[in-house]
Amino acid sequence: MRRGTTARRTSPGSDPARALLVEALRGWSGGTGTSPLAARRAGQALPGLEPAWSRLVEVPDVYEERRESNTWHLLDTLASLDELGATPVGTILCVHGNPTWSYLWRRLAAATFAQAEAGGTAWRVIAVDQLGMGFSQHDDDTDPARQLDDRVADLGRLTTALDLTGPVVTLGHDWGGVVSLGWALDHPEHLVASAVLNTAVHQPEGRPIPAPLRLALAGPVLAPGTRGTTAFLDTTLALARPALPPQVRAAYRAPYAGALRRQGIRNFVADIPVDTAHPSRAELDRIAEGLRGLTVPALALWGPRDPVFGDRYLDDLADRLPHLDVHRFEGAGHMIAEEVDYAAALLTWLDVRVPGGAAASSDTADAVPTAASGVSAPAPLWEHLEARRLDPATALVEMAPRRGTGTGTGGPRAVSWRTLARRVERLAAGFVRLGVRPGDRVSLLVPPGADLTAVLYACLRIGAVGVVADAGLGVRGLTRAVRGARPSLVVGIPRALAAARALGWPGERIAVDPLPAPLARTLGARRSLRDVAELGEQALAATTLAHLAPAPGPDAVAAVLFTSGSTGPAKGVVYRHRQIAAIRDALARTYGIGPDSALVAGFAPFALLGPALGATSVTPDMDVTSPGTLTARATAAAASAVGGEGPATMFLSPAAIAAVVSTADELTPAEREALARVGTFLSAGAPVPLELLERAEALMPAARAHTPYGMTEGLLLTDVDADEIRRARAAGGSGVCVGRPVAGVTLRVAPLERDGAASGDLTDAADVTGEIVVAAAHVKDHYDRLWLTEHASRSVTGEAPPAGLRWHRTGDVGHVDGEGRVWVEGRLAHVVTTPSGVLTPVGPEQAIGASPRVARAAVVGVGPVGTQQVVAVVETLPGARRPGLAPADVAADVRAHSPVPLAAVLQVAQLPTDVRHNSKIDRGLLARWAAGVLGGGRVTAP
């Protein structure tokens, strides 16, 4: 007996669920415990649901005095697997939330069956309709409402009746996540893994539940909104993006026709533990605390746009389950099961974490990379700051006016090693006084320069994690980055803090400079960096920084750097201290940069490494969000500001170099002399045409021109100078020659298949085109909360990586020639799969670009994989006035230069490029645009 209440006994046979299910499945003629057979029209009623999986099961009621048993409806793929002759390795037990039902899991059932049918691992899927929901037994309005502990016990009675034993993987969504995790804690002997879609297991005291739930729970709204009408149901279904097809919406609504059928929806909402006095709060707390002892593999597949179960609940889960694997699907929300292929994601994860139905005892791919045996830990990143803490020499120079800081001051601004070291120390101590602890994340929305450098090194020194996202991502991209990175603090200029306030970015806000009180209140910035430094100075008057904050070890997380977003949503790339130190050492080793060297850094990642190298660094006067704003005169001014007798090293993006050479006519003789003192210049971030390098060489005649190849995940992988590029071009080759791997980098190629996938064993053979795969001590540790992306980036076959390292799939395609030089031929996602084979785009683009009628070209594929047609999209000389089909004479000239047949030639005024470098062509966008144009759609600019 569960409670001292008396409930009217109801015969299971009289429950209208059976009749509704029969009607929905159109011709279902089964009975309790059987596998129903449906008429052909069943699929029209419930699209995507195989009727053979639907069954009813009688289970003793958890309340002895209410009724003898309840009728449960569930989807069960066991009978279909038996017919297939496939023996399941385990069961995935799926629990829906409110107001959905087992229909939510139809795609997983279909995916697991298809996998078994193809000869892969067979998983049985059991997806239940919780009591009072879907087509399971519904209570009438005189029965006491089920509470959370009842639902966990209900599920246990069902699995007992089904004689379900391990291995079991639980999977839940919404409040079904809590119920499934409750079952997991109660049945450890059967459990091998747990997974959830958006859910919550804890409601912090003093924090309100999400607004949509508060509205649904409001007294006057609860009954009419959940039971009396379909408002709650309709609102939930409307959260899906894109909108659900009408047939799917109808399928979700099928069990809930009439107010009595929606009593369970009402009861479920009323059972949300809004405070500590709620009857279900104790069970929720039991489950929440019990998770801290759950050691089986765990996974969260998350939709960040969920207005109910947001990232704060994901953070709570990750805190309780430190080993939790997380994959955030940017753009997905509450109805994540309808918006993304969660089934493929789960099955991929199970193959890794629970192969053959048994939880893996360890996963060496997740081990933190360490130095090879006998190799000492790297010097800390702040080594030179400590060594030169009394040095009055210049450490960095900021040439740009401090736009948007609220101070109105302008550049240049020189900072000595002594001043920088002292400011870093004071900020570090101040952050500690504010409660920042090792592992806490600090979002740095500060332009490159003295302020960003000081804050970043202060974070590094105390073990806080600096989160650096380029302002060039735009408001939408920055919002995704900051929310996904879940910072404790946001340090920013007023413009960034205004966005943080307006868009609800997490974290306490700190202004770079003191702000007028009204503005500070408006932006929610109670402190400035000056206030933080004053707190630090007070703390350091009584103790030392070493006492306040022991230095982090080499394997502590150091930073999260966001990618440019040129190939999809920007990804957070996690680096440990050991790996950033290895980047520093690779730069020093490759280019001879060290103490007393000078850097002109027009490329933000390298500007931040200046103090770690012990070099004086100068940031030019430019808008870092738009590299094309750099001028030749600003570059010369930065070169002059370096000072000293030795030659300077200059880092610029390709777009910045193009801007410099295009404004070279404005240079004075003195400015030309300053550029002539540059000893090395490097262009990183995207391929650089040789012609552009040669124009830059003319401006800097004493400099060696290098174009290192790298990415956010590995800033320096190969290097080549202009002389080598000329030799490579003379020898012939398709693509962009990026030179040879630098010391410490192992580079291989994963050959391309006919469908454009790179699935072959790794090879170092010459002239094999495939995806470029690398391993090095200075390659990223992992992607932040993108488990699937990280798994895919490591998954290779054949050769193992060097000891202590991991492979990283770059997403670039290319080959290695007979001289050991690497050639990049484009992005894997942009490979064109024609009937005659795969085509990489860069080679044909270079050939078409040789036409005097073409400024730039992009080659894309239109049509289904394997039968794509090749289309060229060009910027013409002179520029095209209207986008669309190129004129006949232009098209003829382009075809004459193209090494491959072209199905069409299109023209645009300007090819779309990425937001960070302004130089990577967005071929994906162009392919979609070309398909629309050739399909007869309205012609607008891409």
634-656: per-residue pLDDT in tens? 999 999 888 655 678 998 888 88
If DSSP codes are grouped into helix, strand and coil, which group holds residue 476? helix
* Total length of the chain: 942
CB proximity list for 554: less than 8 A, separation 6 or greater: 371, 377, 378, 576, 577, 578, 581
Q: Are residues 167 and 310 in the same domain?
A: yes
In this prediction, residue 907 carries a pLDDT of: 94
- Residue 712, token pair as written in the block: 């956010």
If DSSP codes are grouped into helix, strand and coil, which group holds residue 458? helix
User: Taking 70 as the threshold, does the pLDDT of residue 908 lie above it?
Assistant: yes
C-alpha span between 899 and 876 (Å, rounded)? 19
User: Taking 80 as the threshold, does the pLDDT of residue 211 lie above it?
Assistant: no
Compute the Cα dihedral for 722, 724, 727, 729 and give only its sign. negative
Q: Is residue 705 within 8 Å of 721, Cβ to Cβ? A: yes
C-alpha span between 905 and 902 (Å, rounded)? 7
In this prediction, residue 40 carries a pLDDT of: 30
User: Taking 90 as the threshold, does the pLDDT of residue 27 lie above it?
Assistant: no
Q: Which of 263, 345, 330 is nearest to 299 (CA)?
A: 345
Q: Which of 882, 852, 857 is nearest to 871 (CA)?
A: 857
Residue for token pair 């939510």: 104
**Could you tell me the maximum CA-CA distance found in the chain, to the nearest angstrom?**
99
CB proximity list for 804: less than 8 A, separation 6 or greater: 369, 370, 371, 372, 777
C-alpha span between 313 and 393 (Å, rounded)? 49
Q: In what side-by-side order are the strands of the sheet with 904-908?
A: 854-862, 869-876, 904-908, 884-885
Q: Which of 486, 521, 517, 519 is nearest to 504 (CA)?
A: 486
In this prediction, residue 16 carries a pLDDT of: 47
Q: Are residues 68 and 172 in the same domain?
A: yes
With bands split at pLDDT 50, 70 and 90, how would you rate the model's confidence at 130?
very high
Q: Are residues 105 and 193 in the same domain?
A: yes
C-alpha span between 758 and 770 (Å, rounded)? 6
With bands split at pLDDT 50, 70 and 90, how would you rate the model's confidence at 12?
very low
pTM score, two decimals? 0.90
Q: Is residue 223 within 8 Å of 200, Cβ to Cβ? A: no
User: Taking 80 as the threshold, does the pLDDT of residue 200 lie above it?
Assistant: yes
Each residue's pLDDT tens digit, 781-808 = 999 999 999 999 999 999 999 999 999 9
User: Taking 70 as the threshold, does the pLDDT of residue 872 lie above it?
Assistant: yes
In this prediction, residue 219 carries a pLDDT of: 65
With bands split at pLDDT 50, 70 and 90, how would you rate the model's confidence at 470?
confident
In this prediction, residue 14 carries a pLDDT of: 40
Q: Are residues 336 and 410 in the same domain?
A: no
**HEC assignment per residue over 509-538:** EEECCCCCHHHHHHHCEEEEHHHHHHHHHH
What mean pLDDT is reported for the chain? 88
Q: Are residues 293 and 416 in the same domain?
A: no
Q: Are residues 325 and 397 in the same domain?
A: no
Q: Are residues 301 and 437 in the same domain?
A: no
Q: What is the DSSP letter of 144?
A: P
Residue for token pair 């070209």: 857
In this prediction, residue 35 carries a pLDDT of: 33
C-alpha span between 787 and 9 (Å, rounded)? 49
In this prediction, residue 64 carries a pLDDT of: 61
The parent domain of residue 932 ranges over: 831-942
Q: Is residue 801 within 8 Å of 851, Cβ to Cβ? A: no
Query: What are 885's strand-pairing partners?
Result: 906
Q: Are residues 468 and 514 in the same domain?
A: yes
User: Taking 90 as the threshold, does the pLDDT of residue 218 lie above it?
Assistant: no
Q: In what side-by-side order are the strands of the sheet with 508-511?
A: 525-528, 508-511, 489-492, 441-445, 465-468, 557-562, 572-576, 782-783
Between vectors from CA 238 to CA 232 and to CA 242, what angle results, nearest 5°?
165
Query: What mean pLDDT do residues 827-847 have?
Result: 95
787 CA to centre of own chain: 9
CA dihedral 102, 106, 109, 112 (to 10 degrees): -140
Q: What percent of the chain has pLDDT over 90?
A: 68
DSSP letters for 895-909: HHH-SS--SEEEEES
Least confident of 197-206, 431-440, 576-585, 622-631: 622-631
> If phi over 0 gives left and psi between -120 and 50 gives alpha, with beta otherwise, what is residue 389?
alpha
C-alpha span between 739 and 704 (Å, rounded)? 14
In a domain, 755, yes or no: no
| Boundary of a domain, candidates 536, 552, 576 | 576
* Residue scoring higher pLDDT (93 or 507): 93
Each residue's pLDDT tens digit, 422-446 = 999 999 999 999 999 999 999 999 8
- Residue 164, token pair as written in the block: 């379900």
In this prediction, residue 485 carries a pLDDT of: 84
What does DSSP say about strands 598-601 and 648-652: parallel, antiparallel, or unpaired? Answer: parallel
Q: Is residue 782 within 8 Å of 731, Cβ to Cβ? A: no
CB atoms under 10 Å from CB of 910, counted, come to 13
Each residue's pLDDT tens digit, 39-51 = 333 344 689 999 9
C-alpha span between 176 and 195 (Å, rounded)? 11
In this prediction, residue 7 carries a pLDDT of: 31
CATH number of the domain to which 541 belongs: 3.40.50.12780
In a domain, 346, yes or no: yes
With bands split at pLDDT 50, 70 and 90, how would you rate the model's confidence at 143?
low
User: Taking 70 as the threshold, does the pLDDT of residue 352 lie above it?
Assistant: yes
From residue 485, how far is each of 323, 334, 714 by CA, in Å? 17, 20, 20
In a domain, 799, yes or no: no
The residue type at 435? G
Q: Are residues 210 and 352 in the same domain?
A: yes
The residue type at 301? L
Q: Are residues 320 and 393 in the same domain?
A: no
Query: What mean pLDDT do residues 472-488 have?
Result: 81
In a domain, 794, yes or no: no
Q: Are residues 411 and 325 in the same domain?
A: no
In a domain, 644, yes or no: no
User: Taking 70 as the threshold, does the pLDDT of residue 63 lie above it?
Assistant: no
C-alpha span between 356 and 351 (Å, rounded)? 8
With bands split at pLDDT 50, 70 and 90, how would you rate the model's confidence at 225?
confident
In a domain, 557, yes or no: yes
CATH number of the domain to which 89 belongs: 3.40.50.1820
C-alpha span between 758 and 831 (Å, rounded)? 11
In this prediction, residue 31 carries a pLDDT of: 33
User: Element (H or E) spanning 849, and its range?
Assistant: helix 842-849
In this prediction, residue 20 carries a pLDDT of: 55
User: Element (H or E) spanning 130, and its range?
Assistant: none
Q: Are residues 182 and 111 in the same domain?
A: yes
User: Taking 90 as the threshold, does the pLDDT of residue 276 lie above it?
Assistant: no
Least confident of 87-91, 208-212, 620-624, 636-640: 208-212
- Residue 279, token pair as written in the block: 């009857």
In a domain, 585, yes or no: no
Count of domains in the chain? 3
Query: What mean pLDDT do residues 379-392 have?
Result: 95
Q: Which of 389, 382, 394 is nearest to 459 (CA)?
A: 382
Query: What are 528's strand-pairing partners?
Result: 511
C-alpha span between 597 and 906 (Å, rounded)? 48
In a domain, 870, yes or no: yes
CATH number of the domain to which 854 belongs: 3.30.300.30
